[in-house]
Each structure stands twice: as C-alpha cells, then as structure tokens.
Amino acid sequence: MRKKIVAGNWKMNKNSSETADLLTQLTGTLPNTTAEVMVAPTFVNLALAVKQMAGSSVEVVAQNMHFAQSGAYTGEISSNMLQSIGIETVILGHSERRAYFGEDDALLAKKVDAAMDADMRVIFCFGEELQDRKAGDHFKVVENQLKNGLFHLETTQWKKIVLAYEPVWAIGTGETASPDQAQEMHAFIRKTIAEAYDQETAQVVTILYGGSVKPANANEIFSKPDVDGGLIGGAALNAEDFAAIVAAI
C-alpha cells in the first residue's frame, strides 16, 4: 500500500501571527484521515509551527535546505538546523527554486544526498514547462529531471523519497493538468523508475500531483490510480480549502 499524502506548500506567505492563526484554524478544520498531512511554512516560522502542532497528526516540513552542514553560506539553512527544531522532511527542487534561484539538477542531487545523509525525507519536485509540453518533450524533460536528480540513489534510499509532479504551467495559474494528463505522467514516472530500479520501488513510491489543486478538482485528480495525493500551494493558505482537499484524499 502506498502512502497517501496531502502537503501544503505555503511558499513566501504568512508572517508569524498569521502562521499561528492558520495552524489554529487547521487544527479545528482538518478531517480525520489515514493520509499524511503536512504543512510547509517559511523558515522563520518553522520552530513555532513545530511547537504549535506537537501532538497533532500534522507534520511540519521545510520548503528548502542547503547541501552543506554548516559554513560560509550566508542566508542558508542546513539539515542539521532543521532537525534541531524537529523537522524531518524537506521539499527540494520546487520549480520556483529552479526558475528564480538557479537550482539545477546537479545542485539538487547534492541537496538530495545531504538529506539522505541526515536520514531526512525528501519531497522531490519536478515538472515540465509549457513550451516543453507544446513541443511534446514533457516525458523527456521529466525523465531527465528524475535521472539527474535522483537516479544516483541506492534502491533502499527510495523509502525516503516522495515525488511531486508539478507541471510548471499549472502552478498558480488556475490551470490544472487534467486528471488524465496527471495520470498519464504519473504512470510514466512509475514506469521510468521501474526501468531504472525495479517494479517494487516504482509501486511503493508516493507520487503527488501539484498545480492549482482546489476543493473543486481534488476529488477527480486524487481518484486516478497513480496519483497518491497533492502538493498544494494557494489553496493551502485557506484552512477550509485545505481541509476540503484533505477530505478528498
């Protein structure tokens, strides 16, 4: 049985009091579920979020981290720092990190390794841009992102990997990949992993879909056999919407 996950990526939203408020609202609104529920506030609010959600079933996760443990990397945060406040899962490779901060596959592979060294779980994001899809290159692009970012891992390390397919053209645009487009890509991702590793690894890994998931479309997207949950941006900033998406899983 694959793990189902719904994770809220808050991106650069919510100051400290807003973070506390949203977490309080979530505590009152989230339905009971067997799925894992995660929230990713900004770095400065992680410690307060961990404290506030202690004892709840919601896991607080980070949006990014550096590959080094410590050193002269002004403005960066290490796995050790995250773990010291109780964070055990990190989102890596988000398309906004790739597009606006120059994070490429080689850097992401190093970050993935740092997470593996620290025994942290990674939510690894990838996905094609609109021009790739228009050119019919979306499968190739995704295959390369997986190969370059993750396929150096040992089979046993895959138990610490969650995948998040986020087509860039669907992020924050209101345009969702159709459930069939999501299913087609998720099935392709599993096939690619099965070829690089084995069927079991491919069947066990959780693959999330991200990109304009809302209460109105979550049911249909989550009903697809290879879609194991969602990475939610905008709709995760509203407790009722996020709770409705969690209910859909």
Determine if 41 is a binding residue for ligand 13P (CB under 6 A).
no
Residue with tokens 């056999």: 225
Q: Is 66 a catalytic residue?
A: no
Determine if 93 is a binding residue for ligand 13P (CB under 6 A).
no
Give backbone dihedrals phi and psi of 56, rounded to 5 degrees, phi first. -95, 170
Task: Quote the CA–CA distance of 122 and 126 in Å, as a whole number.
Answer: 12
The distance of closest approach from Cβ of residue 100 to ligand 13P in the complex, given in angstroms and rounded to an integer, is: 12
Question: Which one of residues 10, 127, 234, 246 is an interface residue with ligand 13P (CB under 6 A)?
Answer: 234
CA distances from 78 to 31, 101, 114 (A): 33, 17, 9
Question: Which one of residues 132, 166, 228, 241 is an interface residue with ligand 13P (CB under 6 A)?
Answer: 166
Question: Which one of residues 90, 189, 213, 246 is an interface residue with ligand 13P (CB under 6 A)?
Answer: 213
Determine if 132 is a binding residue for ligand 13P (CB under 6 A).
no
Query: How many residues would you count in the chain?
Result: 249
Contact assessment for residue 44 and residue 60, using Cβ atoms and an 8 Å cutoff: no
Task: Quote the CA–CA distance of 178 and 237 in Å, as a whole number.
Answer: 23
The distance of closest approach from Cβ of residue 10 to ligand 13P in the complex, given in angstroms and rounded to an integer, is: 9
Task: Quote the CA–CA distance of 13 and 198 in Å, as a whole number.
Answer: 39
Tell me which of 66, 94, 138, 186 is the catalytic residue.
94
Q: Max Cα separation, the chain? A: 48
Q: CB-wise, 201 or 205, nearer to ligand 13P? A: 205
Determine if 211 is a binding residue for ligand 13P (CB under 6 A).
yes
Would you call 231 helix, strand, or coil by DSSP? strand
Contact assessment for residue 76 and residue 66, using Cβ atoms and an 8 Å cutoff: yes
Determine if 38 is a binding residue for ligand 13P (CB under 6 A).
no
In the DSSP assignment, the letter for residue 58 is E
Determine if 229 is a binding residue for ligand 13P (CB under 6 A).
no
Where does this chain touch ligand 13P (CB under 6 A) — which range of 12-20, 30-38, 107-115, 209-217?
209-217
Q: Is 166 a catalytic residue?
A: yes
Window 1-30: contact mask with ligand 13P (x via CB under 6 A): --------x---------------------
Strands 89-92, 36-40: pairing kind: unpaired
The distance of closest approach from Cβ of residue 178 to ligand 13P in the complex, given in angstroms and rounded to an integer, is: 15
Catalogue the active-site residues.
Answer: 94, 166
Contact set with ligand 13P (CB under 6 A): 9, 94, 166, 171-172, 210-213, 231-235
